[in-house]
């Protein structure tokens, strides 16, 4: 009888190991491969940020942008970052593509 219980327990574990729990789909946006965010909701007007005093020579201000969280736009504040010789910061921005909005991520690009 004890062996039967072990066999049933082992079979249950094997059967359950094939279960996949997927996250609940986010409403209002979808996330294709590559980490892009695409939504039908246009971003709000740009937010006017007060740029703080430069903290050290060579620092580069990375401006804030409207990100996406859950089912709405949210402001991601700007920050100072160490500059990279030979590179310039390409800011995050939203592009309208056929009535849908796609967030293009910011990053450093070579001059």
pLDDT digits (tens, 9 = 90+) for 2-26: 655 545 454 443 433 333 333 333 4
CA–CA gap between residue 50 and residue 58 (Å, rounded) = 19
In this structure, is residue 15 part of a structural domain? no
Total domain count, the chain: 1
32-54 pLDDT per residue, tens: 656 789 999 999 998 899 999 99
In this structure, is residue 9 part of a structural domain? no
In this structure, is residue 67 part of a structural domain? yes
Mean of all residue pLDDT scores within the chain: 80
In this structure, is residue 71 part of a structural domain? yes
In this structure, is residue 18 part of a structural domain? no
Q: What is the pLDDT of residue 95?
A: 95
In this structure, is residue 93 part of a structural domain? yes
Q: What is the pLDDT of residue 24?
A: 35
In this structure, is residue 49 part of a structural domain? yes
In this structure, is residue 6 part of a structural domain? no
CA–CA gap between residue 72 and residue 16 (Å, rounded) = 35
| Segments forming the whole domain that contains residue 43 | 25-110
pTM: 0.68
CA–CA gap between residue 39 and residue 28 (Å, rounded) = 6
């Amino acid at each position: 009888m004890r062996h039967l219980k072990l066999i049933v327990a082992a079979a249950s574990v094997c059967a359950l190991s094939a279960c996949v729990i997927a996250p609940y789909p986010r409403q209002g946006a979808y996330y294709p491969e590559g980490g892009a965010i695409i939504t039908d909701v246009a971003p709000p007007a740009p937010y006017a940020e007060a740029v703080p005093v430069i903290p050290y020579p060579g620092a580069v201000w990375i401006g804030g942008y409207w990100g996406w969280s859950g089912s709405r736009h949210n402001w991601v504040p700007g920050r100072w970052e160490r500059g990279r010789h030979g590179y310039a910061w390409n800011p995050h921005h939203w592009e309208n593509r056929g009535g849908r909005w796609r967030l293009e991520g910011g990053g450093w690009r070579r001059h």
